[in-house]
Structure 1
């Protein structure tokens, strides 16, 4: 893609400048009043989701709160080095009552999955802490803290810790760093400035944990099977009027032991290709009820915007990096999405440039 030499797109989050949003004044009070808190992040979590969720746990526990963390779906092994990773629960493992629900790094209620249907939760206050500009403000009125000027949700959690006047433990710092690394692409995107780096310095130490180890684990590891999948898919990419795309069937995403392989590293490779103005990874999934859906991950050049299209298709994200899920097979979804990219993102007549 043009305008971003050497960029490596390892997550959904790409920064565009927005006016900062102040923390709602009710946030410290609602946290102070709650004794038992359920903290949630979105399905298919990335480093910012895990980092903000687990850092919040350590911060709130240091304040004397009982905290349960949850994510709907299988855990991502790549983040198993984070303190608190093993304690993250799925909806079927949630027990007891709570005083408050806190949801981090999540732009819409459907992304918390089965948690939204748990008995008793809808009657509680919901505090949403997020930095996605497409956030649907689904928290309790007055408790939606959405600041799209922040590079990561972890930056907001750090601000919360400071507002609560809570010192950061080594565990909290490690988790916050992972989110900042993930969503700043290791400090390589436009929004990285002196203010951001000052916040990074706050979570580095001194000597509270192995900084280099956390950086290497956050950015550098995939399995052998995932690398082979990446090689296969990249050999099948197609370029169509500036749209570079590849499709992955549900069979291709299944490992030798029946596990679902992660696709980390694939979309950024597509986005790095100079001829591509928009890059798309289509991932087909067969649902438990036999239906098929396709997850679309979108990236684009700096002068374009894929978030509006993703939002129109039922998803969301950022100007330069967004995604959505559509019912149907690859054969049905791919031509529809590519046609809409040409029309609504690139401004091309459907059928060619």
Structure 2
């Protein structure tokens, strides 16, 4: 695609969906596309599906219109578009609508995305799905309402423009979006950095009990299910922990794992450059980017750590 209008021609109904446990880039890209279609293609009936987006993103316009569950009645969209979804099994809430849609499209930036839709616009060299989406929209039509979610997604997936995926083009686009007049510093503070007191307590515990492996090149933090129950937290409350672990001096790879249920763990991986964590995540059935990836793994916590560090060690030995 060169422009989103190419796939919207002769379309009367559109569904938009993001990945499970949606982050800022997923929510931002889905909402920006939804707002753009609602504003500039008013004859198209559009719906957006997201899995329980966090209230912290409520500053984005029309968040109250998000559908968090698939409706019971059968529905066939003329077009279903996924945003920031790396594989079909990562699509949340609206999988059945993707399956029954007359045509499907995928807008993404994950290097692990093999292309699962009829039309696949995947740019693995771009730092966020929101930046990919920006390239498909008419820049002169991006008003403040649409700019806010795009900026949100770009800021989140580039670590507030500090990851290596940040390019001069990324910063140019961010500057153009800022011209629409929103409070960009507030968006960053409240949606990216700000944590509740409880989240800070949990992060402190994980950092205090983290372990260094492989001569200090790998750091591992973890939470067991009973610890999560004790604090009353879920996976959505644990964002930012793996990024903080990555900042440990001398570390090449940070791992954070938490127990979703007995012997089933959610794994988040971050790299400082020497290790391609997307290769590791894909090996274990997940996906992501060179420096940020994730997967789900079964076994004991020690099995999970041992299996992950074995793959990390292989890459470090390739240097």
TM-score exceeds 0.5: yes
The residue aligned with 2:5 is: 28
SS at match of 1:325: strand
Task: Give 1:278's match in structure 2, choosing from 253, 265, 270.
Answer: 253
Task: Give 2:312's match in structure 1, choosing from 323, 333, 341.
Answer: 341
1:310 and 1:255 map into 2 onto residues whose CA distance is 29
Query: More deviation in 314-323 or 324-333?
Result: 324-333
Confirm whether residue 48 of structure 1 aligns to residue 25 of structure 2. yes
Q: 1:120 to 1:281 in 2, by over 3 A?
A: closer
Q: CA RMSD in A?
A: 2.3
Matches within 5 A, 1:207-286: 207=181, 209-241=182-214, 242-254=217-229, 262-286=237-261
1:270-314 per-position Cα deviation (integer Å, ceiling 9, x unaligned): 10111322110011102xxxx641111111231221111111110
Q: Which runs of 5+ in 1 are unaligned?
A: 1-22, 349-353
Does the CA contact (< 8 Å) of 1:36 and 1:98 recur in 2? yes
The residue aligned with 1:75 is: 53
Does the CA contact (< 8 Å) of 2:111 and 2:288 recur in 1? yes
Q: 1:269 to 1:260 in 2, by over 3 A?
A: closer
The residue aligned with 1:293 is: 264
Higher relative contact order (CA 8 A, sep 6+): 1
1:259 and 1:195 map into 2 onto residues whose CA distance is 36
The residue aligned with 2:81 is: 102
Q: 1:101 to 1:119 in 2, by over 3 A?
A: closer
Does the CA contact (< 8 Å) of 2:50 and 2:93 recur in 1? no
Query: More deviation in 322-331 or 271-280?
Result: 322-331
1:148 and 1:278 map into 2 onto residues whose CA distance is 21
Q: Normalising to structure 2: TM-score of the pair?
A: 0.89
2:98 and 2:21 map into 1 onto residues whose CA distance is 25
The residue aligned with 1:192 is: 166
The residue aligned with 1:159 is: 135
Does the CA contact (< 8 Å) of 2:17 and 2:92 recur in 1? no
Instruction: Report how many residues are paired.
Output: 313
Q: Which runs of 5+ in 2 are unaligned?
A: none
The residue aligned with 2:279 is: 308
The Cα shift of 1:158 comes to 1.4
The Cα shift of 1:181 comes to 1.0
SS at match of 2:269: strand
